[in-house]
Amino acid sequence: MAHGADHTPSTAPRADLARAAGCEACRGWGTVVTDDGRHELCTACQTGASSAASATNPPGLRTREQ
């Protein structure tokens, strides 16, 4: 039996983790789960233009500052 494509929307929107770092609302994830169970970008840290830090330091190459 063949199965069709899943018609649900994509899992979670892509958040800028550099902007999410230290956010109290989303605890650094960049997304929040609504009462309906949907993932949405955190309104506290993901509004406005993209961060320059995330453009220069992609998540895989980021080093931890101490």
Answer whether residue 10 shows pLDDT above 70. no
At 9, the pLDDT band (50, 70, 90 cuts) reads low
Tell whether 1 is covered by a domain: no
Tell whether 51 is covered by a domain: no
Tell whether 7 is covered by a domain: no
Supply the pLDDT for residue 47: 85
CB 19 within 8 A of CB 12: no
CB 33 within 8 A of CB 42: no
Instruction: Please write the tens of the pLDDT for every residue from 42-61.
Output: 999 998 755 544 444 444 44
Q: What domain range is 27 assigned to?
A: 14-46
CA separation, residue 42 to residues 17, 37, 56 (Å): 11, 14, 22
Tell whether 22 is covered by a domain: yes
In percent, the amount of the chain with pLDDT more than 90 equals 45
Tell whether 20 is covered by a domain: yes
Q: What is the pTM of this model?
A: 0.54
Supply the pLDDT for residue 36: 92
Tell whether 28 is covered by a domain: yes
Tell whether 34 is covered by a domain: yes
Q: Count how many domains the chain has.
A: 1
Tell whether 60 is covered by a domain: no
Alpha-carbon torsion (44, 47, 49, 57), positive or negative: positive
